[in-house]
Amino acid sequence: MNYHFIAIEGNIGAGKTTLAHLLSKHYNARLILEQFADNPFLPKFYENQRQFAFPLELFFMAERYKQLKELIHTKDLFQSITISDYLFTKCLLFARVNLPDEEFRLFQRLFDIIFQQLVQPDIVLYLHVPVVQLQQNIRKRNRHFEQAIADEYLYNLQQTYTNYIRQHNLKTLVIDATHADFLGREDHLQVVLDALEKDYDEGQHYFTLP
C-alpha cells in the first residue's frame, strides 16, 4: 500500500470515525481522531450559531493543527501509516459556511499561515451520504447537541465539500456511502481496502458499495 497518510472526510454523520478505526486496525496505523468533545463552544454553537461560530472554528483549527503538527516531529517505526478522520482544510470549509464574510476573511488569513506548515495527506477518502441518511445517522448516534441540526445546514456543508473537491486537484476517492455498513458488512470495507491498493492520478475517482 503506497499511501502513508490517509484522510477521511464527509459531512456530519457520514461515518468517518467508524471507517478510520477499521482502517487503522487493518493497517496497524496511527490513528488521528477529531476531538470534538473537547471543544467547549460546540454545544453553545448549536444554540446560537451567530455568537459562537468564530470561537468554535478557531478552537477546532488550533486543536487540529496541534494534532497534525506532531506528524512532522514524530516517527513511529512500527506504524508507517497514519489514518485521520478529517482533512485540515475542513477548518476552512466549515468556516465558509458558518462565518460572515468579514470574519471568514480573517479566519482564512490565519488558516493560510498554518496550512503551509502541515503535512498533507497522500489521498483523501470522501464519504458521500445524502442528507436524509445523514439525519438518520445523527439521530442514531444520539449526541444531544446535534439533534436539532437543520437539513439546510447539512446541504450547505455538502455543497461546500463538493465544490472544494471539484475545484482542487486532490487525489480523492469518492465513495457512495448511502447504505454503508462498514462494521456489519465485510464486503463494504473490502471495497475501500481494494481501492487503496491501487495508484491514481490526481483528481476524483468514484466508487459504489455492493
**Tens-digit pLDDT profile for residues 43-83:** 899 889 999 999 999 999 999 999 998 876 666 655 689 99
User: Residue 77's pLDDT is what?
Assistant: 54
CA-nearest of 206, 92, 208 to 157 is 92
d(CA 63, CA 61): 5
Note the pTM of the prediction, 2 decimals: 0.93
| Bridge partners, 173 (sequence order) | 125, 205
Q: What is the pLDDT averaged over residues 91-97?
A: 97
User: Taking the alpha carbons of 139, 149, 210, 189 in that order, is the dihedral positive or negative?
Assistant: negative
Of the chain, the percentage scoring pLDDT greater than 70 comes to 96
What grid cell was written down for 102?
Answer: 468579514
What grid cell was written down for 106?
Answer: 480573517
pLDDT band of residue 119 (cuts 50, 70, 90) is confident
| End-to-end Cα spacing for the chain | 23
d(CA 17, CA 31): 10
User: Residue 168's pLDDT is what?
Assistant: 87
Active site residue 85: yes
Q: Which amino acid is at 170?
A: L
User: Residue 37's pLDDT is what?
Assistant: 74
Domains of the chain with bracketed CATH: 5-208 (3.40.50.300)
Please state, rounded to an integer, the average pLDDT across all residues of the chain.
93
CA 200 to chain CA centroid, Å, is 20
- pLDDT at residue 191 tops 90: yes
d(CA 152, CA 17): 23
**Tens-digit pLDDT profile for residues 6-53:** 999 999 999 999 999 999 999 999 999 998 778 899 989 988 999 999
Using a 10 angstrom Cβ sphere, with 0-12 exposed, 13-18 middle and 19 or more buried, the burial of residue 156 is middle
pLDDT band of residue 108 (cuts 50, 70, 90) is very high
CA-nearest of 43, 40, 64, 32 to 147 is 43
Residue from 76, 85, 151, 181 carrying the catalytic annotation: 85
Q: Which amino acid is at 197?
A: E
Question: Higher confidence at residue 143 or residue 132?
Answer: 132
